[in-house]
Structure 1
Amino acid sequence: MKHFFLFFFIAISFTVSAQQNYDVVWTTQSKNASASMPCGGGDIGMNVWVEKGELFIYVARSGNFDENNALMKSGRLRVKLFPNPFAGTNFKQQLHLQQGYVTAEGEHNGTKATVKIWADVFRPVAHIEINSNKKINVEAAYESWRYRDRVITTRENWGNSWKWGAPKNNVYKKDVIDFNSNEVLFYHHNSSETIFDAVVKQQGMETVKEQLYNPLKQLAFGGSFSGKNFIAAGTDTGRYAQTDFKAWKLKSKTAAKQHGLQLTLHNAQVNDITVWKQSLDSLQQKVKADKTAFQQTQQWWKQFWSRSFIAIDPLQKKRRSWEVGRNYQLFRYMLACNARGEWPTKFNGGLFTVAPIYTDTINKGLTPDYRNWGGGLHTAQNQRLVYFPMIKSGDWDLLQPQLNFYLRLQKNAELRTKVYWKHNGACFTEQMENFGLPNFAEYGTKRPDYFDKGVEYNAWLEYEWDTVFEFCLMMLQEAEYTGKDISDKIPFIISCLQFFDEHYQYLAKQRGAKALDGNGHLVLYPGSAAETFKMTNNSVTTVAAMQTIIKQLLSTNLSIEQKQYVESLLKRVPSLSYQQFNGHTTIAPAKTWERINNVESPQLYPVFPWGIFGVGKPGLDTALNTWHYDTSVIKFRSHIGWKQDNIWAARLGLTEEAWRLTSLKLQNSERRFPAFWGPGFDWVPDHNWGGSGMIGLQEMLLQTDGQRILLFPAWPKEKDVHFKLHAPSKTTVEAELKDGKIIKLIVLPEERKKDVELKLN
């Protein structure tokens, strides 16, 4: 610390230089939807592109779940201008990153026009604003492929919660779409019976069915497409990306220099669709009366970007390093488009999937609603990588939809435990529906009658119950970082711990006379270390999770009874297990295991997410041995998709490897928009690919250990960087490294500067 001069002062943290070059600008039109640009806000995501002189927008909103629990698009918009400024070659499409909107500009034969597309952060409304130098006419269409019932192809059922277990001739039911005066009104209203009912029956939960939270029953989602001075202009049909559609068209009454269109969306569970329509109408009236929506949205984006940032080699645009910093910012923007959603951002595409033919060319006939691995189905191991980056970026509002997702499901998870095993605690599975029960297909459609009904009959997922602890960790870190009172979340965390405590004593008593081993510890068998090491005894992921969660829980405000229970449970948690490779001690995936089923490296989970080993911590040599000598860790190492080797390399202080893997993750995608990675193991854009890249980059720059703040623990000093990130105790750290020297360091509050330790090699 004494070798460089520190500046501690209050300043505007997000400088223009850190962000000015990150707008994405295209000067040619796109060939198809795969070359689209993300735009959004609140809980709306849009893919925007101009193709053959026409403006297209796919619109998505979190929470559009149909009877099959597929996550449905809100439709596709098509806008045509007459005369058409996009008919020539003078064209520009731009993502205005700091402002959160997209513009498309064109000029042809003296007609110039700019179309601005933006989403209201505070209300579910998307806006299209058109300004031209001459009076023009506009035709806008709401296009839907759900204008008719569709028998779902075998593969397309993988986009909902039936997967390979779908009933024969399963159907996506049509939406109701029609003109309502001069607006297009569209909605899908789920029936009372959905896949929820099939899952409850399949899994023997009928005795408690009325107590279960059910988000699908009679859910209505849809909205209205309209514009001032626009009138209904009939319907049309067509085909785009191998899918037929019907269009409901609006046209401007008269030519003008300014035109405006709005897509207003509304979701609600209602018995009577009239109630939904009334609420939609009320929302529309508020939108019309509010003249400050854009200014308020701009203020939100300004505040969002002021929280944190990372800019690398800002003056070297041609370098991979600059690209990595820019793509970090682009992906954080994509995550921010669901800041106010009721439902989490899905790992398999978020709000920005497009016609699937551009992602999976093998399977034909899939509609734009398709994404691999389901819509209402959540895979915890993937979801966590979307949400962990929000901690150091200070995006706690973005994190709430994921935390609330689990909190809503606590009762359902506890009822699972009661029904199957008659003890306490919340049992969450790895692949879990948005109502807290295992996926229909993954649960097992050909289960033996004798098999435990609480366990998935599935080689990958059986006994994998510990992934919920990573979301418990996020809850605890919110308190650690922000000082927020999380007393409302403590019962949830304890319930998750209680399940493991009571369930493994229950299983032990079925095998023998004792509930604990000879050392008074739980015997965590059978278990699972991720989806890879199966039928484990004392899985490393479970042991590390329980140890860490309990210790952090004890630093919160617990009641006397809660504290006594948690302290006693800590004594029952077994120790981590170790093994040898060529004489080197390494972290073992478990005490014992029976087979390897996937390509993950849970041996390094004590490094991340659990932070037991790392830079400046005891036992680092053992963790490094695991990285260097464990043959499966070496074999499975990659930067693709949800692989998190880049994060482990950063946490272990392996600067060269951390940069290599992270820069591979955050390099430009193979698609036109740089942050549309994938499909990896999942879909496009692959959000756990982007999330793991963000985490790795953050960990290279800043790590924490209690109150310690480790600065540049795995950063290559030859790369210039300017960043602002968050640390525990309401702390922000802004640092700038140039030519290997720190030229700026701002730590707020100032008293935390004593906790900063420079680790730059």
Structure 2
Amino acid sequence: MTTRSLLQLTVILLLCGSRPGNAQEIYAGRYKAVFTAAPQKVPTAKIPDGPLAGNGDIGLTLGGNPDNLCFYLGKNDFWRAYPVYPGGGIALPGWLELNISALKGADYYAEQVQDKAFIKGEFTKNDLKVIMDAWVSATANTVVASFTATKACTLKALLKATKGNTSVNTSGTTQGIHWVTRSFQNTPLLEWPCHVAMALKVLGAEQQNDGSITLKPNQKVTLVVTIYTNQDNPDWKQKAITTALATTQNTLVQLREQHEAWWKDFWGRSNVRIGDPFIEKYYYASQYLFGATSRGNKFAPGIWGPFVTRDSSAWGGDYHLNYNYQAPYWAAYSSNYIDQTDNFDQPLLDYMEKGKAHAKALLGMKGIYYPVGIGPKGLVTTRWPLTPDEMEKRYATRENTIDGGYKFLGQKINAVFSVGNMLMRFYSTYDRAYALKIYPYVLECANFWEDYLKFENGRYVIYNDHYGEVMPNLRNKGVWRNMLGDFNSTLSLGLVKMLFKGVVDLSTFLNADAGRLEKWQHIVKHLSDFTVAEVNGKLSLKSVEKSPSPWHSGINGLARVSIHGLILPGGVCGPETDSAFNQVLLNDVSRWKERMKAPGEWANTLGNGIETCFPAAVRVGYDADEILKQLKDRITVQSLPNLWITAEGGGTETLAAVPLTINEMLLQSYEQVIRIFPNWNKNKDASFDQLRAYGAFLVSSKQEKGEILFVKMRSEAGRTCTIRNPWPGKAVQLFRNGRKAEILTGKTFAFGTKAGEKLELQKAG
């Protein structure tokens, strides 16, 4: 983002933030993204920089100049179900092209209005101004774009389906509705067919055969595009056409009301107020973009969500299982967006039979063994190139049968990564139906690792599960196998410990497999310790205990990959778990600053890991003000005008970075102990409403002038609440449903609750 853009945004935010609050205010409405120039990265293989709107299934990306605007229309369930990328992966249905020749050379202005989820545009040339309003219905498969001009001009609207990449395309007109289709079907190795239809209706004017529409002065013209796939409806083409035919101005009014009500409910789930407009701006923008990207009852988003602007996007836009797929959801649990995560588990469950086959055929093991990348409906996306020639071209070796032709990249842990998300949701809700849903998956992971672990000299050890991806490429040519052989990777040890602690908790909760608890508990107790070594008189974390790879075997300290095992999603380390070991991790975080060469490089997150390293620094107790300073520098160096914080290696995972960092500063609950403002400057006022804590508690609190004023909670599951005393050394008055109850004392105390009970803690007296 340019300095000019940042200054423009800051002025707007200050003006918006000066309005007095009221009970009906959506706090997120204070912040929006502003664009004063046409997007430069649309289309792209990664994250576009244009204004974005979406409903968690359909994504709208605005590209182009005022005289040639283009609405790229992505959809989370439109895939070319082919096992190799490029070529396979999520695909682009098409776009709506809007030509207004009278606006050639016009000034560009647009807003991404996040509280109500629409895009506003104003394009001005001399005395002609065209005003645009575009949104993706939160409750229907419908995209709406309205245009109003101050003087007469011509708009040419052309709905187009993407061609190529083996797709079959058709188009036509039915009762004035122009429609296009795109299909992937009947080609070798395609695992399942996928079809999409898009239909265009014009309201408020007549459209000519060539797509031309006359915009009369101050008369609104509305374009409606309905989009359906065969995943939505078996009669997908007819559904798109009939839905477009049935759309009227009256139905659009109702749709807009439902749309705004959905987003009002979304913003009412939780909020934070920290007195820092810059961080709040990116906090709420990230929440908006996640809400626009993921919808619980739809297909899960891939690396780029529904904001796909071309076929063959990077990494096929797939579900990359060694953190990219999991990370976008990490802030959703504490932010109380549980229903937005409903889509997470299905692709993992759908791949289980293939995962069992991989484990048996390739390793001779029980349980499940997953490659690095999958897609929906049991799709594998990460086969090696199918011919030796293509393999040599891309990876400098003709051997395309490594690991049976699948990319495991030396890592056995891919399936377990996702258990972290499952456990986050389970601990956050204690929902029995959800526990029953995920238990078979978690159990198969336990089956694999119970079989794979070796018990040697009184401890369980892990051979040949690698800290990082190990694979042939153009740089290491024939020597990549010399890097294989990691022993006791920190990543593996942390995630396996998380797995067995979790399966014990699930088994106990469901009263299932009681006969296996003793073995699982033995693994948790006797799993190898994390390896440390001395650096300048202080202990530091090693990535692995032993490795033939110089990169893996060094003393690298706490870093993105080891954080995945220990803290996120591992959750097996921190001050509450082991204060002495936490000091080692805290020492390592303090060294991140020493390695910086320029602002924004803290924790080496320009490549990957902003969503991992910043919350981890909070968890281990690093200085909150320094974390926020470094976070601001990192965002300033690498983010887009639409407020999407970017990374070199991925897209949607960065949406968790700011919300999770702030949520962890204000509320922590790992290891089932609730801590209020655990890592926040006591001299800075802040408040939060309805953040979700482990134990299924919704928590609200406020800190003012260095004092926590109250702690309010609602118990969803009726579990015992264990909480660190918010007023150290003081007695605490507990209120139950508004009435005085117990007096609580001590550093940490626990009390029983009932499902639905409202609780409040105040300093006694």
TM-score w.r.t. the length of structure 2 is 0.75
Aligned residue number for residue 541 of structure 1: 491
Aligned residue number for residue 121 of structure 1: 138
Asked whether 1:661 is paired with 2:630, we answer yes
Aligned residues: 650
Aligned residue number for residue 183 of structure 1: 177
Aligned residue number for residue 611 of structure 1: 571
Matches within 5 A, 1:451-466: 453=403, 461-466=408-413
Aligned match of 2:521 in 570, 573, 580?
570
Aligned residue number for residue 46 of structure 1: 60
- The alpha-carbon distance between structure 1 residues 745 and 94, as it changes in their structure 2 partners (threshold 3 A), is farther
What is the distance in 2 between the residues matched to 1:576 and 1:455?
34
- The alpha-carbon distance between structure 1 residues 190 and 29, as it changes in their structure 2 partners (threshold 3 A), is closer
Matches within 5 A, 1:475-494: 475-485=422-432, 486-494=435-443
What is the distance in 2 between the residues matched to 1:627 and 1:370?
41
Aligned residue number for residue 198 of structure 2: 223
Aligned match of 1:431 in 352, 373, 377?
373
Please identify, of 282-291 and 468-477, the stretch whose mean Cα deviation from structure 2 is larger.
282-291
| 3-state secondary structure, aligned to 1:552 | helix
Matches within 5 A, 1:249-648: 249-251=211-213, 257-268=219-230, 275-284=235-244, 290=251, 292-313=254-275, 321-340=276-295, 342-347=298-303, 349-354=304-309, 368-376=310-318, 378-434=320-376, 435-437=378-380, 439-441=382-384, 445=391, 453=403, 461-485=408-432, 486-504=435-453, 516-519=455-458, 522-531=460-469, 535-556=485-506, 562-572=513-523, 574-582=527-535, 584-596=538-550, 601-604=560-563, 605-618=565-578, 620-628=579-587, 637-643=603-609, 644-648=612-616
Where does structure 2 lack aligned partners over 5 or more consecutive residues? 1-20, 43-47, 471-482, 596-601, 729-765
| 3-state secondary structure, aligned to 2:422 | helix
- The alpha-carbon distance between structure 1 residues 47 and 623, as it changes in their structure 2 partners (threshold 3 A), is same
In 2, are the aligned partners of 1:232 and 1:250 still within 8 Å (CA)? yes
| 3-state secondary structure, aligned to 2:223 | strand
Q: Alpha-carbon deviations, 1:185-223, whole Å to 9, x = none? A: 222211223545xxxxxxxxxxxxxxxxx4xx2211232
- The alpha-carbon distance between structure 1 residues 175 and 503, as it changes in their structure 2 partners (threshold 3 A), is farther
Asked whether 1:18 is paired with 2:18, we answer no
Matches within 5 A, 1:692-711: 692-711=657-676
- The alpha-carbon distance between structure 1 residues 218 and 707, as it changes in their structure 2 partners (threshold 3 A), is closer
What is the distance in 2 between the residues matched to 1:732 and 1:274?
40
Matches within 5 A, 1:230-249: 233-234=208-209, 249=211
How much has 1:703 moved relative to structure 2?
Answer: 1.2
How much has 1:177 moved relative to structure 2?
Answer: 3.6
How much has 1:139 moved relative to structure 2?
Answer: 2.8
- The alpha-carbon distance between structure 1 residues 178 and 609, as it changes in their structure 2 partners (threshold 3 A), is same
What is the distance in 2 between the residues matched to 1:352 and 1:463?
31
What is the distance in 1 between the residues matched to 2:512 and 2:707?
52
Structure 2 residue identity aligned to 1:728: Y
In 1, are the aligned partners of 2:78 and 2:229 still within 8 Å (CA)? yes
How much has 1:646 moved relative to structure 2?
Answer: 1.5
Structure 2 residue identity aligned to 1:185: W
What is the distance in 2 between the residues matched to 1:493 and 1:100?
37
How much has 1:586 moved relative to structure 2?
Answer: 4.1
What is the distance in 1 between the residues matched to 2:198 and 2:488?
51
How much has 1:334 moved relative to structure 2?
Answer: 0.9
How much has 1:471 moved relative to structure 2?
Answer: 1.9
Please identify, of 97-106 and 580-589, the stretch whose mean Cα deviation from structure 2 is larger.
580-589
Aligned match of 2:89 in 57, 62, 70?
70
What is the distance in 1 between the residues matched to 2:496 and 2:154?
63
Structure 1 residue identity aligned to 2:92: K
What is the distance in 2 between the residues matched to 1:542 and 1:13?
49
Please identify, of 734-743 and 290-299, the stretch whose mean Cα deviation from structure 2 is larger.
734-743
Q: Alpha-carbon deviations, 1:411-461, whole Å to 9, x = none? A: 2212222333454211112233543546123899478989874585x7xx5
| 3-state secondary structure, aligned to 1:325 | helix
Structure 1 residue identity aligned to 2:677: F
TM-score w.r.t. the length of structure 1 is 0.75
How much has 1:303 moved relative to structure 2?
Answer: 0.7
What is the distance in 2 between the residues matched to 1:630 and 1:720?
26
What is the distance in 2 between the residues matched to 1:79 and 1:26?
19
- The alpha-carbon distance between structure 1 residues 139 and 733, as it changes in their structure 2 partners (threshold 3 A), is same
- The alpha-carbon distance between structure 1 residues 44 and 564, as it changes in their structure 2 partners (threshold 3 A), is same
Aligned residue number for residue 141 of structure 1: 158
In 2, are the aligned partners of 1:578 and 1:585 still within 8 Å (CA)? no
In 1, are the aligned partners of 2:318 and 2:373 still within 8 Å (CA)? no
What is the distance in 2 between the residues matched to 1:36 and 1:14?
33
- The alpha-carbon distance between structure 1 residues 696 and 220, as it changes in their structure 2 partners (threshold 3 A), is same
In 2, are the aligned partners of 1:386 and 1:687 still within 8 Å (CA)? yes
| 3-state secondary structure, aligned to 1:104 | strand
Aligned residue number for residue 721 of structure 1: 686
What percent identity do the matched residue pairs reach? Answer: 15
How much has 1:257 moved relative to structure 2?
Answer: 1.7
| 3-state secondary structure, aligned to 2:226 | strand
In 2, are the aligned partners of 1:24 and 1:95 still within 8 Å (CA)? yes
- The alpha-carbon distance between structure 1 residues 596 and 660, as it changes in their structure 2 partners (threshold 3 A), is farther
Structure 1 residue identity aligned to 2:179: L
| 3-state secondary structure, aligned to 2:89 | coil
Aligned residue number for residue 731 of structure 1: 697
In 2, are the aligned partners of 1:501 and 1:522 still within 8 Å (CA)? no
How much has 1:560 moved relative to structure 2?
Answer: 5.7
- The alpha-carbon distance between structure 1 residues 631 and 332, as it changes in their structure 2 partners (threshold 3 A), is closer
What is the distance in 2 between the residues matched to 1:115 and 1:220?
30
Structure 1 residue identity aligned to 2:568: F
In 1, are the aligned partners of 2:58 and 2:76 still within 8 Å (CA)? yes
In 2, are the aligned partners of 1:42 and 1:122 still within 8 Å (CA)? no
What is the distance in 1 between the residues matched to 2:219 and 2:235?
37
Q: Alpha-carbon deviations, 1:118-170, whole Å to 9, x = none? A: 111222211112356777764322245x34x4xxxxxxxxxxxxxxxxxxxxx
Structure 2 residue identity aligned to 1:648: A
Please identify, of 387-396 and 561-570, the stretch whose mean Cα deviation from structure 2 is larger.
561-570
What is the distance in 1 between the residues matched to 2:66 and 2:400?
60
In 2, are the aligned partners of 1:377 and 1:439 still within 8 Å (CA)? no
| 3-state secondary structure, aligned to 1:57 | strand
What is the distance in 1 between the residues matched to 2:255 and 2:26?
28
Structure 2 residue identity aligned to 1:383: Y
Aligned residue number for residue 199 of structure 1: none
| 3-state secondary structure, aligned to 2:566 | coil
RMSD (Å), alpha carbons: 3.9
Q: Alpha-carbon deviations, 1:7-30, whole Å to 9, x = none? A: xxxxx9987373342123446666
In 2, are the aligned partners of 1:189 and 1:218 still within 8 Å (CA)? yes
In 1, are the aligned partners of 2:141 and 2:226 still within 8 Å (CA)? yes
Please identify, of 751-760 and 37-46, the stretch whose mean Cα deviation from structure 2 is larger.
751-760
How much has 1:639 moved relative to structure 2?
Answer: 3.0
Structure 2 residue identity aligned to 1:193: T
How much has 1:547 moved relative to structure 2?
Answer: 2.1
Q: Per chain length, whose mean CA-contact separation is higher, i.e. which structure has more relative contact order (CA < 8 Å, sep 6+)?
A: 1
How much has 1:484 moved relative to structure 2?
Answer: 1.5
